[in-house]
A and B are shown apart, each in its own frame.
Chain A
Amino acid sequence: DAGVIQSPRHEVTEMGQEVTLRCKPISGHDYLFWYRQTMMRGLELLIYFNNNVPIDDSGMPEDRFSAKMPNASFSTLKIQPSEPRDSAVYFCASSLDKTGTDTQYFGPGTRLTVL
């Protein structure tokens, strides 16, 4: 298996632009998580999906952030409009998680820089 795939790996954009981050989970995993990693706050959960349905989006910073999972093999995290404080590494992770204890497998991350 290729593991969790994220694209792009690096994104540099200007303030006010729309940014879309993409994630392909491991096939067969029915949980998908979006995390953001910053120096100040560490690794924090933004949103997670179960069977393509958003379950908990309480970590999404504000209305500028939105996430979708149109099917079991694809999810997007969109920031519109982007701001410099959104600069961070965004990780996607997936898990099988039938028991609530299964390991989460992380993608390589997308490093976002907003100028």
Chain B
Amino acid sequence: ILNVEQSPQSLHVQEGDSTNFTCSFPSSNFYALHWYRWETAKSPEALFVMTLNGDEKKKGRISATLNTKEGYSYLYIKGSQPEDSATYLCASLRGGRRALTFGSGTRLQVQP
């Protein structure tokens, strides 16, 4: 994988559902993986920065896991709420650079 890819592109769930999405990134020369939450008409807001294989981070109902050997990360949202509606971006940082390469995002819509 040369680019950062996210799936699905969009997701509609009901309030209370749990959901997850995938980020695939180049595993060679891996340095860090960032997750951002981006609400409409606002700027991207950092959720997690992950660096170690097997790493798991949690913030309230949102958690993320990282597999650097195979180049993927999962983001989980437990008990989705309407306020979770946003685009979730992942971005890969490769060794030697300070510039993130962003995926195209997963747009989540939570229906009340």
A residues near B (Cβ < 8 Å) are 4, 31, 33, 42-45, 48, 50, 55-56, 59, 91, 95, 97, 100-109
B71 on the interface (CB 8 Å rule)? no
Q: Could you tell me if B97 and A104 are in contact, using CB atoms closer than 8 angstroms?
A: no
User: Which of B20-28, B39-47, B61-69, B75-83 faces chain A?
Assistant: B39-47
Interface string of B27-51 (1 = CB under 8 A from A): 0000110100000001111100101
B104 touches A102 (CB 8 A): no
Question: What total count of A-B pairs have CB within 8 Å?
Answer: 51
Q: A101-B49, A108-B42, A109-B43 are in contact. Are A48 and B89 (CB under 8 A)?
A: no
A-B contact pairs, 25 of them (CB 8 A): A33-B100, A42-B105, A44-B102, A45-B99, A45-B101, A48-B98, A50-B98, A55-B98, A56-B99, A59-B99, A95-B98, A97-B98, A100-B32, A100-B93, A101-B31, A101-B32, A101-B49, A102-B49, A103-B46, A104-B34, A104-B100, A105-B46, A106-B45, A108-B43, A109-B43
Closest A-chain residue to B43, C-beta based? A106
Give the residues in chain A near B104, CB-CB below 8 Å.
42
Q: Tell me which residues across on chain A come within 8 A of B43, comparing CB atoms.
A: 4, 91, 106-109
> Which of the residues A43, A100, A101 comes within 8 Å of B102, measured between beta carbons?
A43
Q: Are A104 and B46 in contact (CB under 8 A)?
A: yes
Chain B residues near A43: list those with CB within 8 A. 44, 89, 102
The residue among A59, A95, A101 with the most chain B CB atoms within 10 A of its own CB is A101
